[in-house]
Structure formats: C-alpha cells, structure tokens
Amino acid sequence: MTKERIYLFDTTLRDGQQTPGVDFSVEDKIAIAAMLDDFGIDYVEGGYPGANPTDTAFFESRRTTSARFVAFGMTKRAGVSASNDPGLAALIEASGDAVCLVAKSWDYHVRVALGCTNAENLESISASVKAVVAAGKEAMVDCEHFFDGYKANPEYALACARTAYDAGARWVVLCDTNGGTQPPEIRDIVAAVIAAGIPGANLGIHAHNDTGQAVANSLAAVEAGVRQIQGTLNGIGERCGNANLVAIIPTLVLKEAYNTRFEVSIDREALQGLTQLSHRFDELLNRSPDHQMPYVGASAFATKAGIHASALLKDPRTYEHVPPESVGNLRKVMVSDQGGKANFINALKLRGIVVSKDDPKLDRLIEIVKEREATGYAYEGADASFALLAYRTLGSIPSFFHVDSFRVMIERRYDANGNLKTVSEAVVKVVVDGETMMSVAEGHGPVNALDLALRKDLGKYQAEIADLELADYKVRILNGGTEAITRVLIESTDATGARWWTVGVSDNIIDASFQALMDSIVYKLLKNRGEAGRVAAE
C-alpha cells in the first residue's frame, strides 16, 4: 500500500513571532530558516513582508534552498482591485515560492474586524488567490477562526474555504485561531469540509494549544483527512503556543498509528537530529530547554523509580515508548535514594565506571548518597557532583588545588555622594603545589564575588579553566526560615559545549555555593584529562 504524504509547514518565524517575549532579528530569522531547511521541513513561513522592517528585510532574498519559502499576509482590501492593493503587491513581489493569505471565515469577524460584507470578503479571497497564482506562485489560504466560524455559520465558513479552493489555492488551511476547539469537533468539521467538496489532499490544519491539545488536534485533523500540518519549533506561539512540530514529527514517523499509512519529508535518519534542532533553537532564543518536552526533553527518557529502573536495564522496551536514540536523545537513569543498586551500577556504567554489584565500595557509595540526600543533596540533578563522589569513593581523584580559606564581605552604606551602595567583596586563599595564592574580587553579590575570586588564580591550572562558564545557578531553601538548609545547583559549560551540574548543601548559602563551585572546577579539570582523569579514579 502506498503511503499518503503529510506536508509539514513551519510558522515559527511568523506565528512564533507572536510569542510574548520573543522578538526575532533578521539574523535570527536567517539562522532559524537555515535550521528548518536543513532538517527537511516542506514549507518555511518567514513572516509578513511589508508589515514591519525586519520581515521586509528578511524577504529581500529567498532564505531556504530545498524548503518552499512562504510569505504571509492579508487578502486584498474590499473595494480595490488586486492589482491596486499595495499590501498584496508587496506579498507577491517578495522573494519566495508561495504566498499564504490569511482570510476571515467567521462572518462575525468579517463584520467587526473587516467592516465589509460577506460577499466582498469572498471576492477578496478569490481575487487575491488568483493574483498569486497568476504571478506563478503557489497560493494558500489560512481560514482564520474557521472552526469557531463554522459553529456560528457553517454555510459561510464553507463558502470561504470553497472560494479559496475554486480560485486555485494549493492549500486551504483550517485555523483554530483561538485554540479552544476540541478533537471531536475538529474531526467532525474537517469531515464536513471534505463532504463539501474540498479534497483532504488540499486541506491543512493550524492549531493552537489553549487547552493543551494542539498536537492532538493536528493529528485528529490528519485522521479526518487533512494533509498539511502547520506548527512551530518547541511549540512557541501566541498565548499558549502553536502545535509543536517537535512532538508531531516523531509521532508521525515512529508511531504505528500513523507511519503505516502516512509519510513525511523527514526520514528516520534525519529524525535523529530532532533533539539537537530543538535545543539549538532554545539556545538561539536564549531560553533553557523544557526538560519535560516530549521526545527531546532532558527528562523525556529519564527514570527515577527503583523498580522501573531495574526493569529498564533488563529491557528498555519495558519503560520506553520509543528508543531515545531514534530522536537523538539519551536514556538517563537517575541516582536518587529511591533507586536500587541496579540504578547505581547503570549510572556508573554511563560514566565509564564498571563496578561489580558485590564490591563493598559500591555499598559504601550508595550509603553516602542516601545519607547526603537525606541531608538535602540531590544527585539526580547534579551528575558531575555524583561522578566526583563516585570517583572519590570507588577510586581517587588527583588533588589539583586546595582552598585554605575564604572571606566574603557585603557592605551597604551611603557613599560620598549620599547614594545607597552595596558592595560585595571576596578574598580566597588557594594552595597549588605548596604555593599559596591570594585573590580578591568584587561581584554583583557574595556568590558572584566568591566565584570570581576563586577562578582568578589557580596557578598552573588557570589557563585550563579559562573557558569554564556558569550557565545557571539555582537555589532551593529546603525548610522554612532564614536558618533553613540551602541547596545550590550550578550548571556549568565550556568551549566544547559540554554541560554539567554540581550541587552544594549547607545552612549557609555561601558555603553551599562554594561546594558547588569547587565541584564544577574540579570536574572541569578531570574532564580536560579525559580518560586520564577517569583512570586516576579507578
């Protein structure tokens, strides 16, 4: 049986731009278009040329090589001819292979927002589509508010879709603009549209996540017959976001419910680039990735529970719905006091440490982890600190340097000009190979000052940690009050792009931070030594 092709349409650069807090530069758009193009998306919608300087500049040239490059904009205004509408002209003249016209399909909106008659709106749709086709470009129409419009006035909603199709639109896209439509309604209404004479092969779905069902609504529409899905990277978009292509694509490729009947432009090999695509996009937006995102999240294939973990080791199929490598993600068995011995052995194996389950040192390690987690440590979130603890307990670690003492001072007072001022200063005394070095630094706060002083002079190791950077710093107060136990988690990164997490716990936040900072530096030094560092640990 030949499979039916589902076309993937990315609107990250257009609807994704509506995300609160997201504002793409032309350079951002060029980079993202390239990512989507390389990954193998069918259509890349770049924005609204003529609507703002960024999009106009972005459309000065075609920004994709294999993907079809799409300009988005409105149908011509009522009362003017297509050739006399500057907005429509700008769309047609913009670089690109296709034009996606947004058209009202809810009579209420035609009246309130456009202020024209239903007939005038139909004429605008028809004339605009014909103008795009006449210019030799692929035309598609986003039927805005289609599902709400259909509920209010089915005849008119269908007339809008039908008009677009009859005028020569390659795609008629049914949009759930407000995002409140439920999957059963999607199925019924899509079926009605097909019954009205528009082939599913010419229908698309544009879903929003306002009830947390944008992915399901998109797939429900495919079930009902549509063959184009519009969505965004990581589900960004206005309000609660658009349908997340990063969740939809692997489901179409890997799930029997779909891959026996449908195929997409991304094959199983390309799919292995999905996790990287998703993370690179977050990187570009400067957001920390959602650890729980389907398929690509750092936790998507993480197991914590003891029983689950041991079964997982016997056979991954038992607790994984797809193999993590199929989407370029990794299996993660986390250490936690809920975990059994098998957890530890596997967690260690992942770090290249082979230990037999009868080794008394292993029992000692488990004991230490349980003791420490009881006092507030959380090794599941601090793999580097766990690795160091394991190396120290099962083997040994070279003592690179030693911090003899530190002092941090925070002073708030009025300066000479009578302005309130808070100064944070840290002094650290470090011993490397018997040589003592004192460093002092001022920082934005006590932890920042301590971090700067600590990394200011590590003698012969200084050059090695030059590329060490703190990516994130998290504080958790484990019990109420200012006397509380504080847990600090630090995420570090370096020039290789590697990321590692370290933890510190104390009733003193400075002490807790110091522990985590020290672990991060020592882990970096071990890491630089690669296998050597590891061998030294066994």
Asked if residue 350 binds its own copies (CB under 8 A), the reply is: no
Cα(97)–Cα(138) distance, integer angstroms: 6
DSSP letter for each residue of 440-451:
EEEESSHHHHHH
Asked if residue 209 binds its own copies (CB under 8 A), the reply is: yes
Asked if residue 20 binds its own copies (CB under 8 A), the reply is: yes
Contacts with 249 (C-beta within 8 Å, 6 or more apart), sequence order:
8, 264, 266, 271, 274
- In the range 117-176, which residues lie near its own copies by CB under 8 A? none
Q: Cβ 463 to its own copies, closest distance in Å?
A: 22
Q: Cβ 202 to its own copies, closest distance in Å?
A: 23
The letter for the amino acid at 370 is K
Asked if residue 334 binds its own copies (CB under 8 A), the reply is: yes
Residue 377 in contact with residue 388, Cβ under 8 Å? no
Cα(387)–Cα(329) distance, integer angstroms: 21
Closer to its own copies by CB, 84 or 292: give it.
292
Q: Please, which residues bridge with residue 47 across strands? A: 71
Answer for which of 268, 321, 361, 364 binds its own copies (CB under 8 A) is 321
Asked if residue 224 binds its own copies (CB under 8 A), the reply is: no
Question: Strand runs (DSSP E) across 192-243, as ranges?
Answer: 203-206, 228-231
Pairing of strands 138-144, 171-175: parallel
Asked if residue 247 binds its own copies (CB under 8 A), the reply is: yes
Asked if residue 414 binds its own copies (CB under 8 A), the reply is: yes
Three state DSSP letters for 155-182: HHHHHHHHHHHHCCCCEEEEECCCCCCC
Closer to its own copies by CB, 220 or 537: give it.
220
Asked if residue 476 binds its own copies (CB under 8 A), the reply is: yes
Interface region with its own copies, contact rule CB under 8 A, candidates 78-86, 457-465, 500-508, 521-529: 500-508
Closer to its own copies by CB, 298 or 394: give it.
298
Cα(378)–Cα(241) distance, integer angstroms: 32
Which positions from 22 to 61 touch its own copies by CB under 8 A, shown as an x/- string?
A: -x-x-x------------------------x---------
Asked if residue 215 binds its own copies (CB under 8 A), the reply is: yes
Asked if residue 182 binds its own copies (CB under 8 A), the reply is: yes
Residue 485 in contact with residue 478, Cβ under 8 Å? yes
Q: Token pair for residue 250?
A: 């692997």
User: Three-class SS of residue 141?
Assistant: strand
Interface region with its own copies, contact rule CB under 8 A, candidates 195-203, 271-279, 357-365, 375-383: 375-383
- In the range 60-79, which residues lie near its own copies by CB under 8 A? none
Treating both helix axes as pointing N-terminal to C-terminal, what angle do 341-350 and 360-374 enclose, rounded to 10 degrees? Answer: 100
Asked if residue 86 binds its own copies (CB under 8 A), the reply is: no
For 171, what's the count of Cα atoms within 13 Å in the CB-facing half-sphere? 27
Asked if residue 286 binds its own copies (CB under 8 A), the reply is: yes
Asked if residue 330 binds its own copies (CB under 8 A), the reply is: no
Q: Cβ 52 to its own copies, closest distance in Å?
A: 7
Total of chain residues touching its own copies, rule CB under 8 A: 123
